[in-house]
Amino acid sequence: MKVSAVINTYNEERNLDRCLKSVADFADEIIVVDMHSSDKTVEYAKKYKAKIFYFEQTRYVEPARNFALSKAGGDWIFLIDADEELSKSLAEELKRISEENKVDFVEIPRKNIIFNKWIEHSRWWPDYLVRFFKKGKVNFSEKIHEPPKTQGLSLRLEASEKYSLIHYNIQSVSQYLERIDRYSDIQSEELIKAGYKFNWQDLISRPSSEFLSRYFPGEGYKDGLHGLVLGLLQAFSELTVYLKVWERQGFEQQETKNVDQLITEQSDNLLHWRIINTPALLSKIVLKIKKRL
């Protein structure tokens, strides 16, 4: 079975060599669809004898996904981003799956490395993605971060480091903030298109819910300082989305009644998750109640 590695790129000279090197022995052909990069991205692609195609520059990759897939000639397609790396153990497993030819697409866990650390919690792991599939069995939406439409039998790999795709995600605070600014533009536009009307309460409830869900149910606290920082940054991302909706709708004035009540509700949620996830705190509360009785 012939395998095509497909990569969408835009100014990826910092990452692309590592990515291409990881798929060079795995894939029978390498397809690179570039959005007219101004750096050495295309030069790196040529070094690995990739077939190079061009697509108009867009703010995010999804509109170019299906075009890139259409250029692949393999029976199987491995979709990989320029800031990702295929490990030898995952490559061996995918080769075995393609040779057996019993399934149509494979969900692969992704190992996100952020600020020099593998984030094992905080809803960043196992981060399953459909990245290996028979040609014609997967179709991507042009909406940002929308899951693809799939056909046929699926296989989900074990959530282990051995079978994970390595993702060198965000490596600096500036890069994170730039991504928040870029994605929040798109997300705020989509909310308005869907009919959302700005409500000032979302400036409190949405960011706090995002932080709490990542830090407690998502066990972000197990990632230490990284988990705390990422939870706060994701909360800031949510705040930015709704602020941009407010901006796009003309900074309409709204009466902010019961702010203290809303903040109290979020504080109660915080206490709820602390009690559930911190046995020592729960023991102290029970002890205090017993003393009062």
Residue 228: is its pLDDT beyond 80?
Answer: yes
* CATH classification code of 3-168: 3.90.550.10
The pLDDT, as a whole number, for residue 2 is 96
The pLDDT, as a whole number, for residue 1 is 87
Query: Is the separation of the CB atoms in 87 and 167 below 8 Å?
Result: no
Q: What is the reported pTM? A: 0.88
The domains of the chain are located at: 3-168, 173-292
Q: Indicate the pLDDT class of residue 273, thresholds 50, 70 and 90.
A: low
The pLDDT, as a whole number, for residue 71 is 97
* Average pLDDT of the residues in 177-187: 96
Q: How far apart are alpha carbons 90 and 88 in whole angstroms?
A: 6
Sequence-distant contacts of 36-42: CB under 8 A, at least 24 apart: 36/10, 37/9, 37/10, 37/11, 37/12, 37/13, 38/11, 39/11, 39/12, 39/13, 40/13, 41/9, 41/10, 41/11, 41/12, 41/13, 41/16, 41/82
- Segment 60-110, tens digit of pLDDT: 899 999 999 999 999 999 999 999 999 999 999 999 999 999 999 999 999
